[in-house]
Amino acid sequence: MNYEETVKKYAELVVKVGLNVQPGQRVVLNADIDAIDFVRELTRASYKAGAREVVQKLTDGPSAQLKYEYAPVEVFETVEQYRIDEVNNYVKDRSANLKIYSQTPELLKDADPAKIAAFAKAMGEANRDYSRAVGRFDFTWSIVAFPNTAWAELVFPDLKGEEARLKLLDEMIKAVRVDQEDPVEAWRLHNEKLNAKAKLLTEKAYDKLHYKSDRTDVEIGLNKGHVWLGASAVNADGITIQVNMPTEEVFTSPDFRRVNGVIGNTRPLSYNSAIIDDFKLTFKDGVVTDFEAGQGYEVLKNMLNSDEGARRLGEIALVPDDSPISNSKVLFYNTLYDENASCHVALGRSFPNAIVNGKEFSKEELVDKGMNTSIIHVDFMIGGPDMSIDGIKEDGTSEPVFRNGNWVI
């Protein structure tokens, strides 16, 4: 691998396809300092695309660990107003906002779960307006990842140091199609396929879906007028963006009131840099009434207590087991990647665009239609080679959607 050339091509693809940077636009890069090579190439590519300014918002994992070790819990319970205003201003001036994951998923494994919960709740409440804008695609945003050594050694425990980091980068490059002869064209064709599948599901207009596997047996009701969404999105200015790179999913928001049964995870969940694994959630009339976890029980409990909507679903996404990330057999310990290897659901906030005219509805109207307005949105993976999904229509008839983890429609 030519490291410099690979990072450059990756950055150019993200700027062109992910953010689709427009002349005169501000670009905001949120990243850990471990991703500085990538950040610099993103900065270069953004300016070449016509950005008027590139703002770098950098963090440092070890410094965050020190904060969680020494700062009192009160520090995590408040978000300063200037930080709230800053992100809201990015929405107002239509900045292109990029989140770059580059921290070890176990960064906070020894941190006080109460501090993790306090910070997550404070940020969720502070960013309500921003999160609503994200869900409505009111501005340009995208999420990507870049490897660091600690993360890579977790993914590839038999490798060390730079060898592990470059191996993880190589797997990422394949997943985001940078390794293809024409990555931009590859993404265009990929989007066509996913959007066609989303259109088909929307036309089916199922009343509910029944998921059945070794770890899951649940019925999930769908909203009247629900819309399935594909890989790409169109923001409020009519600009096509790629909000997740990679992505293999089609998704919608269910009726949070109509979920009954048990859902079990099939891949670990990294939540605020703490791992939750081997967990099951029991739903009755849309609410998690019981739960268990082999790892991260306290973190899961605190997450479910974030607010009323945290115990209800806000997203369901269909991903075939026969997909590039799944076929790689790599467990990334990162939701952006692992969710695109498996069908998944999300606790918390719904997507207003996942229902007809959803962007026009008030918060109260969305809730009345079964859309979740929680402060959190947490995806976790439930799919695998034994997953079957049936689409059930209003008249009670059903048809197969997934068998053995893959599409059959």
Which DSSP state fits 106? T
* Spatial distance between the Cα atoms of 301 and 304, rounded to a whole number of angstroms: 5
Which CATH number characterizes residue 133's domain? 3.40.1830.10
Q: What is the DSSP string of 31-69?
A: EEGGGHHHHHHHHHHHHHTT-SEEEEEEE-HHHHHHHHH
Residue 183 in any domain: the answer is: no
The tens-digit pLDDT sequence of the chain (409 residues) is 899 999 999 999 999 999 999 999 999 999 999 999 999 999 999 999 999 999 999 999 999 999 999 999 999 999 999 999 999 999 999 999 999 999 888 899 899 999 999 999 999 999 999 998 998 899 999 999 999 999 999 999 999 999 999 999 999 999 999 999 999 999 999 999 999 999 999 999 999 999 999 999 999 999 999 999 997 999 999 999 999 999 999 999 999 999 999 999 999 999 988 999 999 999 999 999 999 999 999 999 999 999 999 999 999 999 999 999 999 999 999 999 999 999 999 999 999 999 999 988 999 999 999 999 999 999 999 999 999 999 999 999 999 999 999 999 9
Say yes or no: 143 and 46 in one domain: yes
φ/ψ bin of 50: left (φ > 0), alpha (ψ from -120 to 50), beta (otherwise): left
Count: domains in the chain: 2
Say yes or no: 164 and 301 in one domain: no
Among residues 156, 175, 194, the one where a domain terminates is: 175
Say yes or no: 8 and 135 in one domain: yes
The Cβ-side half-sphere exposure at 285, using a 13 Å CA radius, reads: 0
Q: What angle do CA 150, 115, 28 make, to 5 degrees?
A: 60
Six-digit token string for 380: 């976790």
Model pLDDT, residue 359 = 87
Answer for the pair 149, 331: CB distance below 8 angstroms, yes or no. no
Among residues 175, 195, 223, the one where a domain terminates is: 175
At 161, is the secondary structure helix, strand, or coil? helix
pTM for the structure as a whole = 0.92
Give Cα 345 to chain centroid, integer Å.
10
Say yes or no: 145 and 218 in one domain: no
Six-digit token string for 51: 């950005």
Q: Please give the C-alpha separations between residue 381 and each of 254, 264, 278, 396, in angstroms, as whole numbers.
A: 16, 8, 11, 28
Say yes or no: 30 and 136 in one domain: yes
* Rg for the chain, CA atoms, rounded: 20
The contacts of residue 304 (CB under 8 Å, 6+ apart) are: 288, 291, 310, 311, 347
Residue 97 in any domain: the answer is: yes
Q: Parallel, antiparallel, or unpaired for β 217-222 and 254-264?
A: antiparallel
Residue 45 in any domain: the answer is: yes
Say yes or no: 287 and 372 in one domain: yes
Domain that holds residue 367: 204-232+245-407
Six-digit token string for 147: 């490897």
The contacts of residue 134 (CB under 8 Å, 6+ apart) are: 141
Answer for the pair 40, 209: CB distance below 8 angstroms, yes or no. no
Residue 192 in any domain: the answer is: no
Amino acid at 105: P
Question: What is the number of other CB atoms lying within 10 angstroms of the CB of residue 207?
Answer: 20
Say yes or no: 214 and 166 in one domain: no
Helix (H) or strand (E) holding 135: helix 128-135
Residue 196 in any domain: the answer is: no
Residue 225 in any domain: the answer is: yes
Question: What is the number of other CB atoms lying within 10 angstroms of the CB of residue 33?
Answer: 15
Answer for the pair 325, 175: CB distance below 8 angstroms, yes or no. yes
Give a three-class secondary structure readout of 367-393.
Answer: HHCCCCCCCCEEEEECCCCCCEEEEEC
Answer for the pair 314, 372: CB distance below 8 angstroms, yes or no. yes
Give a three-class secondary structure readout of 300-361.
Answer: HHHHHCCCHHHHCEEEEEECCCCCHHHHCCCCCCCHHHHHHHCCEEEEECCCHHHECCHHHC
- Quick one: CA torsion of 357, 361, 367, 368, rounded to 10 degrees? -80
Q: Which residues pair with 392 in a beta bridge?
A: 208, 398
Model pLDDT, residue 339 = 92
Six-digit token string for 393: 């229509």
Q: Which residues pair with 233 in a beta bridge?
A: 241
φ/ψ bin of 177: left (φ > 0), alpha (ψ from -120 to 50), beta (otherwise): left
Six-digit token string for 314: 């806000």
Residue 396 in any domain: the answer is: yes
Say yes or no: 61 and 170 in one domain: yes
Say yes or no: 68 and 155 in one domain: yes
Model pLDDT, residue 213 = 98
Residue 239 in any domain: the answer is: no
Say yes or no: 169 and 210 in one domain: no
Say yes or no: 344 and 388 in one domain: yes
Helix (H) or strand (E) holding 70: helix 61-70
Cis peptide before 183 (omega within 30 of 0): no
Residue length, the chain? Answer: 409
The contacts of residue 218 (CB under 8 Å, 6+ apart) are: 210, 211, 259, 260, 261, 262, 263, 283
* Spatial distance between the Cα atoms of 221 and 113, rounded to a whole number of angstroms: 33
Say yes or no: 274 and 217 in one domain: yes
